Homo-oligomer: A and B are copies of this chain.
Amino acid sequence: MDEILETWPHLSSAERMAIFASIPRGQVDEFFLDLPSRDQCEIVHALPENERRIWLRLLDPDDAADLIQLAPSDERSALLALLDPVAQREVAALMAYQEDEAGGLMSPRFARLRPEMTVDEAIAYLRRQAPQFETMYYAYALDERQRLAGVVSFRSLFSADRETTVREVMRTNPLTATEDMDQEAVAKLFSKHHLLAVPVVDSANRMKGIVTVDDIVDVVQEEASEDIQKLGGMEALDAPYLEIGFWRMVQKRAGWLAILFVGEMLTATAMGHYEEEIARAVVLALFVPLIISSGGNSGSQATTLVIRAMAIGEVRLRDWWKVVRREFWAGLVLGTVLAVIGCSRIWIWQGIWRPYGDHAKVVALTVGISLLGVVLFGTLAGSMLPFLLRRAGLDPASASAPFVATLVDVTGLVIYFTVASVIMRGTLL
């Protein structure tokens, strides 16, 4: 079974349906439940109408809602109608939420108790209701108006004295998520407090459902993938790499690539300004790629660090000054390291081949000072851009490495040629 799941993402639709049909009956339901919603939807879609019902009814309401939301919009109501009336109501309620909100992640099937039950009554009750729960880790005590009064873990319920009431063992004021809370914020709750489930409540503290930690693992992976792809200089893909349509993928990449390209055109304009200088001292042109790429690389490091630290909550908006100070010194040190390596290289080459004639000293000085300036600027720009973007209400991850590199390339050229015109005046220029 595991091997099938392993090769599954790499098969065509027809191959998948053939394999699905070949799995023995005792194993096929577990296999189906293990698939991502997208693949479940594909299978249900490919089956004849009279075979769809058992698969849809096999799913828990939150998973059924995910599947139906992935289906073409004109098929959704037909799929919903395949469920039993209770599940239909539950699923329809879940479908009102965005997929990436707490409401879209939650299951309405949690273990409910009344605060005044005794522990013994509670355990007997839970035992009767067990088959329909999504999770058996916490039970939720609701008052007569469905408001959340407290949470009790099965562990403490089990170890409590039989005659105490639920109210006595439950924890009041538990952590909750609101229905429209972003899934990234929900994931942070889980990872900060090491929870297995979080209750979802509406504005009147009425309990709507629970989000369980197994769904959060997927959320964390998904959010990390999105951030990584944005950092790589493209829009986040909305499907696995091998499954997304070719033109859709190209579109997600071409947009940013074109924007970066148009930005990078400024380098040609900047270089045009220094055309005369280059004509007089061609040696200047030789170091252009080296200098601008050093700025780009140091900017890429700084922006990556800050964006990731922001995403997992290590750095907040108001830490910007701490980050500036840190990155200023980091930029100075890193710039000095590269300047020393760069000058040594010119020195050694000069010792062996004398490619710079009588001007090795001014060339080395120009390259060294420019490197220091460009790396310092790259580091500062790369670390501050995510703050500016967040401040402006945008996603800091849009300050991708290529974006910072482009910004630094143009500025790097200006720094380099300015330094050159000061240092080389009277000798090469």
Contacts and interface: CB of A to CB of B under 8 A. Distances in A.
Interface of A: 5, 9-10, 33-34, 123, 126-127, 130-131, 133, 135-137, 153-156, 158-159, 187, 190-196, 212-218, 220-221, 224-225, 227-229, 231-234, 237, 240-242, 246, 249-250, 253-254, 256-258, 260-262, 264-265, 267-268, 271-272, 275, 278-279, 282-283, 285-290, 292-294, 296-298, 300-301, 303-309, 312-316, 319, 322-323, 326, 329-330, 333-334, 337-338, 341-342, 345, 355, 401-402, 405-406, 409, 413
Contact of A341 (B191, B262, B307): B262
A191 B217 contact: yes
Contacts of A338: 257-258, 261
9 contacts: A33-B194, A136-B155, A224-B227, A229-B308, A242-B315, A258-B337, A267-B290, A271-B285, A278-B278
Copies in the complex: 2
Which one of A123, A221, A334 has the greatest number of beta carbons of chain B within 10 Å?
A: A221
A330 B237 CA distance: 15
- Interface SS majority for chain A: helix
A261 B342 contact: yes
Contact of A228 (B130, B214, B224): B224
A341 B261 contact: yes
Nearest to A410: B289
Contacts of A242: 309, 314-315, 319, 322-323, 326
A271 to B, nearest CB: 4
Given A9-B314, A158-B130, A402-B297, A214 B233 contact: no
Contacts of A136: 136-137, 153-155, 158
A191 B213 contact: no
Contacts of A154: 130, 136, 154
Nearest to A33: B194
Contacts of A308: 225, 228-229, 241
A334 B158 contact: no
A229 B282 contact: no
Closest 6 CB pairs of A and B: A232-B304, A224-B224, A130-B158, A267-B289, A241-B309, A130-B159
Contacts of A286: 268, 271-272, 275
Contact of A298 (B187, B257, B322): B257
A312 B221 contact: yes
Contacts of A405: 293, 296-297, 405
B240 A334 contact: no
Nearest to A10: B319
Contacts of A323: 242
A305 B267 contact: no
Given A253-B330, A293-B409, 18 more contacts: A130-B158, A137-B196, A194-B215, A217-B217, A220-B220, A224-B224, A225-B308, A231-B232, A241-B305, A241-B314, A242-B315, A264-B290, A264-B297, A265-B342, A279-B282, A282-B282, A289-B292, A297-B402
A303 to B, nearest CB: 7
A33 B333 CA distance: 39
Contacts of A341: 258, 261-262
A375 to B, nearest CB: 8
A296 to B, nearest CB: 7
Contacts of A195: 214
Contact of A264 (B130, B216, B260, B293): B293
A289 B264 contact: yes
Contact of A316 (B10, B232, B322, B342): B10
B241 A306 contact: yes
A110 to B, nearest CB: 12
